[in-house]
């Protein structure tokens, strides 16, 4: 536009800017409640994926002539040393990255409570015997179980068939 010999460029007015910011605010206020419902479900899906990846990684151990990995003599079940054994074994022998052993929901809950010792792994392997094929013989026995019921349906677990689902307690 030309006016009085000067070229004037069109700019946003303060009113237009306030209207746009207001519309964005309204849209965000509509989306935030949905996001609060989506995030826990996304964490559960990542957790289920990690359990399935552990099942895939450890599947060769079920038919290996050496059998399922065995804890070294003197390592107490549930100790940090046991957790470190599983991390080391899976990393060195199977190429499993350490992040696969972590559930994002458990990570968030541990960060919010700094008093407790953070676990090294969030999935506990079942201690099968060393005979080849034992994990496949016990089809309902979980191979790995999540350490806490953080998704609200029970501890997630993966069984011999590779399905991931909440662990059903034997005695209700």
Residue 27 counted as domain residue: no
Residue in 104, 101, 108 with CA at minimum distance from that of residue 85:
101
Residue 28 counted as domain residue: no
- Structural domain total, the chain: 1
Helix (H) or strand (E) holding 156, with range, is: strand 156-158
Q: What percent of the chain has pLDDT over 90?
A: 49
Residue 95 counted as domain residue: yes
Helix (H) or strand (E) holding 36, with range, is: helix 14-63
The rounded mean pLDDT for the chain is: 87
Residue 2 counted as domain residue: no
Q: Identify the domain containing residue 86 by its residue range.
A: 46-166
Choice between 1 and 132, residue whose per-residue pLDDT is larger:
132
- The whole-number pLDDT of residue 30 equals 86
Place 87 in a pLDDT band, splitting at 50, 70 and 90. very high
Residue 159 counted as domain residue: yes
Residue 153 counted as domain residue: yes
Q: What tens digit of pLDDT does each residue of 42-76 get?
A: 889 999 999 999 999 999 998 888 889 999 999 99
């Amino acid at each position: 536009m030309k006016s009085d010999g000067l070229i004037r460029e069109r700019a946003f007015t303060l009113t237009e800017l306030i209207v746009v910011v207001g519309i964005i605010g309204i849209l965000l206020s509509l989306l935030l409640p949905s996001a609060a419902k989506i995030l826990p479900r996304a964490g559960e899906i990542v957790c289920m994926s990690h359990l399935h990846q552990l099942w895939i990684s450890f599947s060769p151990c079920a038919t290996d002539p050496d059998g399922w990995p065995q804890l070294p003599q003197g390592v107490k079940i549930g100790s940090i040393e046991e957790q470190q054994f599983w991390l080391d074994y899976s990393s060195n022998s199977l190429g499993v990255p350490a992040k696969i052993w972590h559930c994002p929901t458990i990570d968030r809950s541990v960060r919010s409570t700094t008093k407790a010792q953070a676990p090294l792994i969030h999935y506990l392997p079942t201690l099968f015997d060393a005979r080849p094929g034992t994990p496949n013989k016990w089809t309902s026995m979980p191979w790995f179980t999540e350490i806490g019921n953080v998704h609200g349906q029970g501890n997630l677990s993966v069984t011999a068939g590779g399905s991931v689902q909440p662990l059903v307690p034997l005695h209700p």
